[in-house]
Structure 1
């Protein structure tokens, strides 16, 4: 039942989810602030749940998973570590800000995914059982939380 376009689209988002989880795990291992570490853990759990839903959608539409894209996402996340490291930015605070902004942009992309799939779901029964409104609401909540963290990080990193 899968179309090439749907397969590519879903696999791109799966790769993004994988990279986001890896980024959060790295951020957690580097984070001394218990409050932020707790918020990152909650976000990671939600993104893992979202990835599981996306995997269920991949199965439902009978799409193949592209392992190469997932491997490429892992490599890109590792390259991102170089750009987002304290050695590259010169500042732990700036690194945190850039990491949070990366996650913020990723969640925007995920919300766009859920909105696109919600539009597709009304045209046929294949995706009708997924609650895209709930997924969109969760993405909105994640964006709100990340924006607050991002603003806090900006005030710490960009003091002039």
Structure 2
């Protein structure tokens, strides 16, 4: 059997790379679930809920691939991903107590960034599959297709949310700046 190590790929670098993506996947799962649970707009929440489930499945797939490749999970990186997502909720969007109208828009952008990164890891693993039979090209193609579907959905939701967010603010009178 050809392994990544025998084909010149450094398993230590692959382990770091996959664990970094696992940390991101951990944050992504939590971010998607949080958006689905906390969003007041039931249409947005209903659209994000299935995405949150898929993102969780993708994280599980990454863990399984890591297991097959004998890449140990670095728990501290998973904890960092978890803490980073929690810290991200503390950002100010112009409101201290209630969710800002900007919050769902920014969260959709964060999810889109995460899914873009996830697609990148599937692409890398897909290329490495030619060198390592432990990587299933069909599985990776499916994961990559799903990531692209998720990106299209997130783009559509982002477009709708940006229109909704800024249409609501456009209806309010503009504050006049005091002359200097």
**TM-score between the two structures when normalised by the length of structure 2:** 0.81
1:41-80 equivalence runs, <5 A: 41-80=49-88
Question: In terms of Rg, which structure is larger?
Answer: 2
Q: Kindly tell me: are residues 84 and 41 of structure 1, through their superposed partners in 2, closer, same or farther at Cα, counting changes over 3 Å? A: farther
Question: CA offset at residue 134 of structure 1?
Answer: 1.0
Report the number of matched residues: 159
Question: CA offset at residue 129 of structure 1?
Answer: 5.8
Quote the residue 2:176 is aligned against.
none
Indicate which of 145, 149, 156 corresponds to 1:148: 156
Instruction: Answer yes or no: is 1:25 the counterpart of 2:33.
Output: yes
Question: CA offset at residue 84 of structure 1?
Answer: 5.7
Provide the rounded CA distance (Å) in 2 between the counterparts of 1:58 and 1:130. 17
Q: Kindly tell me: are residues 129 and 115 of structure 1, through their superposed partners in 2, closer, same or farther at Cα, counting changes over 3 Å? A: closer
Quick check: 1:93–1:153 contact (8 Å CA) kept in 2? no
**TM-score between the two structures when normalised by the length of structure 1:** 0.90
Question: CA offset at residue 94 of structure 1?
Answer: 1.1
RMSD: 2.0
Between Structure 1 and Structure 2, which shows a larger proportion of helix residues? 1
Provide the rounded CA distance (Å) in 2 between the counterparts of 1:158 and 1:105. 21
Indicate which of 87, 108, 111 corresponds to 2:119: 111
1:77-96 equivalence runs, <5 A: 77-83=85-91, 87=95, 92-96=100-104
The C-alpha deviation readout for 1:6-29, integer Å capped at 9, x for no partner, is 111111111111101111222122
Structure 1: any 5+ residue segments left out of the alignment? none
SS at match of 2:90: helix
Structure 2: any 5+ residue segments left out of the alignment? 6-10, 171-180
Quick check: 1:84–1:98 contact (8 Å CA) kept in 2? no
